[in-house]
Structure 1
Amino acid sequence: MTRPVRNYKWKDGKTLSLGDVSLVMGILNVTPDSFSDGGLWNTKEHAMSHMKDMAADGAAMIDVGAESTRPGHTELTAEEETARLMQLLPLLLDESSVPISIDSYHYETMEKALSAGAHMVNDVWGFQYDDGSMAAVTAAHGVPAILMHNQNDTVYEGDIISSMKSFFDRTLSIAFAAGVKEENIILDPGIGFGKTGEQNMEVLARLDELTQAYPYPWLLGVSRKRFIGTILDLPAEERDEGTAAVNLWGIEKGCTLFRVHDVKTTAREVKMWDALRKQARLQHGGK
C-alpha cells in the first residue's frame, strides 16, 4: 500500500520526511499522572535525558504532553497546562536534534508553544474542541498538524467507520476554513479514545477503509493501551510486544508514523518490516 509523501522543513533547520519509510514518534509526558509513565519525566534533568535517549534510539520526532489524556484524567486549564509545559519546552527545543510536536487541545497552550519554536501540533480533538481557534493558530504558524478522531462517549449511530469519516470531514472543513494547508494535515484514528476495546479492534481491522479514503499520512498511537492489556492480560509496562504487533498491522494498513513509549525496539521492528515489504515488492515487479 502506497503511503502519502510529505517533506517538512522548519526555520531552525530541522526536517521530517513522511512517505514509504515508517517513522517513530517518541512520547515525552511531562505529567505526574499519565497512565504508563506519569511522574517519570517531569523534571528538567529527566525530561532532557529521556528526549535525547529517544532521539538516539531512532525517534524521528518527540511528542511532548503536559496534560494526561488517559481515560478519567484530571483536566487542566489552559493556564495550568501552559505553565507546566513552558517550564521545560524552551530547554527541550534548545537541545533537541529532532522536531518536537505538542500534544494539547488548548489553543492558548499551542500558541505559546509554537511561538517558542515547537514544530508541530498534535490535537486529540481534531480541531473540534473549540470554535476553530486551534485551527487558526495552526494556520498562522504554518506548521503540520496531527488531527485525531475523538468523542466523549462510545456510542456510534450506525457504522463506526462511517461515523469517523464524518468526523474527519468536519475536521478538514474547519482546517481549510482557517487556512491550514492541505500538505500540513496528518490524521490519527484515535485508538483508545471514545471507543471500547471491541470498537478499537474493529477500527484496526478496517483501518485501510480510513487510510485509503483520505490523501494524508496517518499516525497510529496504540502504545501500551488498555485494549492490548485486556487481550494479553498484562499491565501497562508489559504491553510493548502487543504494541509492536498492532504497529506492524498498521504499516500494512497504510500508517506511516507510530507514537510509542518504547522507541528503540519499535524503530528496529518497523525498519525490519519495511525491509521485508520492500523485498516483497521487488520480487513482484515493484507492485
Structure 2
Amino acid sequence: MGILNVTPDSFSDGGDFSRTDKAIIHAKEMIEAGVDIIDIGGQSTRPGYTEIPQEEELNRVLPIVKELRKITDLPISVDTYFPEVAEAVIEAGATIINDIKGLDQPGMGEVVAHYDIPVILMHSRYRNEAVDVVTDLQNFFEEKIKLCQQLGIKPENISFDPGVGFHKSVAENELMIASPEKFRFEDYPLLYGVSRKRTIAQLTGETNPKERDFGSIAASLYVLNKGVEIVRVHNVKGMRDALSVWQKLKGLQ
C-alpha cells in the first residue's frame, strides 16, 4: 500500500503532494514502481495533530480519487473516519476505507455496510493501562468484530491495523513490530504502517522522517516475513525491490 498524503502538514512529507497535479504525478510514480493499493490521506494524524473539518478533508481527497480513477484500475483506499467523506469517495471510485478510528465515529459502520466495501480498522484509542497491550488490542478487535456482525459487514471485508505509534509506549511499539503474530485476531488480515514513524527513529536514531526509509523498509519486510498481509509505505520502489529480492532468495532455499 503506497501512501499518498495530500495534506500540507503531514509529519513526513507535508505539502509535497497537496496540489492535485503533484499528487497525481506521485501516484503515477507509485504505479510505475509496482504499488498494489494507493492510500489517500487528507488529514494529518501526526502526534498532536489538529483535526480539520470533514468538508476540508473532502475537498482535498475527492479530486484525487476522481483523477486517479481515470488513469488506473488499482484499488484506491481513502484514509478517513468521517462517514460523509467515505460515502463521497466511494461514489467517486474509492474501493477501500482505511479508518484510523476503527468505526468509532457514528455512522461510519453503516456506510461501510451499505456499500459492501473492504475496511481497515485501526486501533488508535488511548491505551487501557489496566491490561497489557496484547490484551488491550485483542479486546478491541473482538469488540469491532461484534460491531461488524451487528451491522452486517462481511468478514472477508475486514482487516485490522494495530496502530503502531498511536498512544503506545516505545516498548509496546517495538513489541508490535517484533511479534505481529501476537496482534492477529483469529484469521483476519493485518495491515502494518510503520513507514517513517518515530518508532523507526527510536530504532535507528534518524531524526529526519524522509531519511527513515531504509529502517522503514527493514521493519516492513520483517513483519511481512512474520505473516502480515499488507504494509503501508512511503517508498514504494524501495519496498518492492526489497520484497522481490527476499522472495526470490527465499524461493531458492
State the TM-score, normalizing by the size of structure 2.
Answer: 0.95
Deviation of the 1:231 alpha carbon: 2.4
Deviation of the 1:40 alpha carbon: 0.6
Check the 8 A contact 1:51/1:96 in 2, yes or no: no
1:224 lines up with 2:196 in the alignment = yes
Tell me what 1:55 maps to: 31
1:147 lines up with 2:121 in the alignment = yes
Deviation of the 1:97 alpha carbon: 4.0
Aligned to 2:143, which of 164, 170, 174? 170
Tell me what 1:18 maps to: none
Deviation of the 1:108 alpha carbon: 1.0
1:191 lines up with 2:164 in the alignment = yes
Given residue 250 of structure 1, which amino acid in structure 2 is its aligned partner?
V
3-state SS of paired residue (2:216): helix
Check the 8 A contact 2:6/2:41 in 1, yes or no: yes
Count of residue pairs the alignment pairs up: 252
Deviation of the 1:154 alpha carbon: 4.5
Check the 8 A contact 1:244/1:266 in 2, yes or no: yes
5+ residue gaps, structure 2, are: none
Please show how residues 35-50 of structure 1 align to structure 2 within 5 Å: 35-50=11-26
3-state SS of paired residue (1:244): helix
Please show how residues 107-122 of structure 1 align to structure 2 within 5 Å: 107-122=83-98
**Per-residue Cα deviation, 1:85-123 (whole angstroms, up to 9, x for no partner):** 223321122123411100001111101111111110100
Deviation of the 1:175 alpha carbon: 1.4
Deviation of the 1:28 alpha carbon: 0.4
Please show how residues 1-287 of structure 1 align to structure 2 within 5 Å: 25-128=1-104, 130-131=105-106, 133-151=107-125, 153-154=126-127, 156-211=129-184, 213-234=185-206, 235-280=208-253
In 1, the alpha carbon distance for the partners of 2:7 and 2:82 equals 16
- After alignment, is 48-57 or 190-199 more displaced? 190-199
Check the 8 A contact 1:146/1:185 in 2, yes or no: yes
Q: CA RMSD in A?
A: 1.4
**Per-residue Cα deviation, 1:191-233 (whole angstroms, up to 9, x for no partner):** 111212221012222311223x421211111001011112212
Given residue 177 of structure 1, which amino acid in structure 2 is its aligned partner?
Q
Check the 8 A contact 2:127/2:136 in 1, yes or no: no
Check the 8 A contact 1:55/1:97 in 2, yes or no: no
In 2, the alpha carbon distance for the partners of 1:155 and 1:186 equals 22
**Per-residue Cα deviation, 1:32-85 (whole angstroms, up to 9, x for no partner):** 000011101111210110001101101001000111111111201212211222
Q: Which has the bigger relative contact order, CA under 8 A and spacing at least 6?
A: 1
Check the 8 A contact 1:65/1:85 in 2, yes or no: yes
In 1, the alpha carbon distance for the partners of 2:27 and 2:63 equals 15
Which has the larger share of helix?
2
Given residue 197 of structure 2, which amino acid in structure 1 is its aligned partner?
K
Check the 8 A contact 2:119/2:157 in 1, yes or no: yes
Given residue 150 of structure 1, which amino acid in structure 2 is its aligned partner?
S
